[in-house]
Amino acid sequence: MKSNDRSLPNAMAVALMVFACTAAQAQDFSYSAFGTIGAAISNQDYRYQRFIDSDGSLMRDTVLGAQLDVQFTPELSATVQGKLAPSARNDQDWDLTASWAFASWRPNNDWLLRAGKLRIPLYLSSENLDVGQSYEFARLPTEMYSIAPTTDVTGLYITRNWALGNSDLSLDVYSGQAKVWVRLNTRDTGTSFNKYDTRVSGSVLTWRAEDTMLRFSAHHAVTRPDGGPLNPVSTQSITTPFGPVYDASGTTPKIRNDIITVGIDQQLPGNWRIMFEAERNIQHDTDLGANTAGGYIAVLKSMDKWTPYVSASVLKTVGAPARAHEALSQSSVPDLVPGVTDVINASQRRFADSIPFYDQHSLAIGSSYALTPHSKLKAEWLHTWVRKGSAMIDSPSAGPAVSNTGIDVLSISYNFAY
């Protein structure tokens, strides 16, 4: 087990020491633990979503965590949450990281200020993303919940609340930064992880009533390589004795993204429930990055301890990155000079694989079963249809990228929160 940033466990240790020293003066403190032990297996030999293949894996969904909350005064409190999960830096290790480490000041019921590391409310289930016991899905729809490489940033958060009769409205405004590891798999060079510095700012409007939750959010991210190569801007066609090929054209020191999300969670009569989320990730400064549209719709039915559900989701790369990926995927030269043309074709494969391209949709059918008020068992069958390709797949080396195929995944998990 390794830590992906030594400062995070150190920060947790310091925070815990401070909390321990001041616990006697605190009005109240509490702690909790949560976790998911999950197994997943697919009908394909290649990996899907980093870990899932025909051999099965515990790494896709398993996570363990604990949280400590300290109330110093009615207005001032602090929270530390740590988790053990598969590393963001490689596919072999498990890392202990601080998901949350922040102080809160609530001067009155209308205002809340938080400073430190915590989660951006990007999705309907952002705040409880790691706590599988708190939702019914065996796995939150990946086509929606993978649009950002991280939602944990360190910065300042300001929340304004309005009480509206039997409902309430809240506005979150924040700005923070994070160091992010981005995974890249190519058919010829395998898997690599590149580090980036990201600053994210945004606002989130949430309306909650007894049976309804509505959320709309807008975010702006600026991402720069942390010691790695600059990002290419576009493609250019080069004429060779064997035919035309593509190469990168220009570089940019930063990439900007504007992300818009909308979501609704609605309880219906007869213990039915419908959930819907959609996103648009608009990328600037490069034609070779993540520029996506996606989302899902899910229907759930509560029946005593059982909650079966069905969900349909989609994720597509649109605009210039989609056109660039299609051109590169079709780019190859005849095998006229063995060795030389092999190198050229390998370069085209690597270039195509470097674009975070998605063209897939999924159908999931599953159910949760409440063992106790604090624990659940879950099972799910997921069918994903991949059309022109997906960066979620590690395509077999040296061959064509996986496309026009289906992937079936079976998942089971035990989830708890105490």
State the Cα torsion 144-149-152-156 to the nearest 10°: -100
User: Over 90: is that where the pLDDT of 126 sits?
Assistant: yes
Identify whether 2 is part of a domain.
no
- Reported as a pLDDT band with limits 50, 70 and 90, residue 12 is very low
Task: Provide the number of structural domains found in the chain.
Answer: 1
- Reported as a pLDDT band with limits 50, 70 and 90, residue 25 is low
Identify whether 110 is part of a domain.
yes
- Reported as a pLDDT band with limits 50, 70 and 90, residue 243 is confident
Domain that holds residue 257: 7-417
Q: Which pLDDT score is estimated for 50?
A: 97
Distance CA(95)–CA(89), nearest Å, equals: 9
Average pLDDT over residues 269-273: 97
Residue type, 188: D
Q: How far is CA 23 from CA 34, 100, 332, in A?
A: 23, 19, 66
Q: Which pLDDT score is estimated for 1?
A: 46
User: Over 60: is that where the pLDDT of 300 sits?
Assistant: yes
User: Over 70: is that where the pLDDT of 6 sits?
Assistant: no
Q: Which pLDDT score is estimated for 124?
A: 96
Identify whether 260 is part of a domain.
yes
Q: Which pLDDT score is estimated for 26?
A: 61
Tokens 């990007």 locate to 122
- Reported as a pLDDT band with limits 50, 70 and 90, residue 9 is very low
Closest-CA residue to 85 (of 13, 184, 1, 183): 1
Asked if 356 contacts 290 with a C-beta cutoff of 8 angstroms, the reply is: yes
- pTM of this structure: 0.91
Question: Looking only at Cα atoms, what is the longest distance across the chain?
Answer: 79
Identify whether 1 is part of a domain.
no
Q: What is the pLDDT of residues 306-343, one digit of tens each?
A: 999 999 999 999 999 999 999 999 888 887 788 888 89
Distance CA(174)–CA(107), nearest Å, equals: 18
Three-state secondary structure call for residue 228: coil
Region of 275 please: left (phi>0), alpha (psi -120 to 50) or beta: beta
Average pLDDT over residues 337-355: 90
Mutual orientation of helices 340-353 and 320-329 as an angle, nearest 10°? 160
- Reported as a pLDDT band with limits 50, 70 and 90, residue 13 is very low
Distance CA(170)–CA(276), nearest Å, equals: 20
Helix, strand, coil share (%) of the chain residues, nearest 5: 10, 60, 30
- Reported as a pLDDT band with limits 50, 70 and 90, residue 242 is confident
Identify whether 208 is part of a domain.
yes
User: Over 50: is that where the pLDDT of 18 sits?
Assistant: no
Q: Which pLDDT score is estimated for 5?
A: 45
| Average pLDDT value for the chain | 92
User: Over 50: is that where the pLDDT of 195 sits?
Assistant: yes
Asked if 160 contacts 68 with a C-beta cutoff of 8 angstroms, the reply is: no
Q: What does the DSSP 8-state code read for residue 354? A: T
Q: What is the pLDDT of residues 251-269, one digit of tens each?
A: 999 999 999 999 999 999 9
Q: Which pLDDT score is estimated for 314?
A: 98
Which residues 6+ apart lie within 8 Å of 165 measured at CB?
Answer: none
Lowest-confidence region among 12-21, 75-84, 175-184, 340-349: 12-21
Q: Rounded to the nearest 5°, which phi and psi values hold at 323? A: -65, -40
Q: What is the pLDDT of residues 365-388, one digit of tens each?
A: 999 999 999 999 999 999 999 999
Q: Which pLDDT score is estimated for 252?
A: 96
- Reported as a pLDDT band with limits 50, 70 and 90, residue 411 is very high
Closest-CA residue to 413 (of 85, 99, 137): 137
Closest-CA residue to 257 (of 292, 220, 289): 220
Q: Which pLDDT score is estimated for 396?
A: 94
| In 330-382, alpha helices (H) | 340-353
CB atoms within 10 A of CB 36: 23
User: Over 70: is that where the pLDDT of 16 sits?
Assistant: no
Asked if 386 contacts 46 with a C-beta cutoff of 8 angstroms, the reply is: no
The enclosing domain of 77 has a CATH number of 2.40.160.10
33 exposure class (CB count in 10 Å sphere: 0-12, 13-18, 19+) = exposed
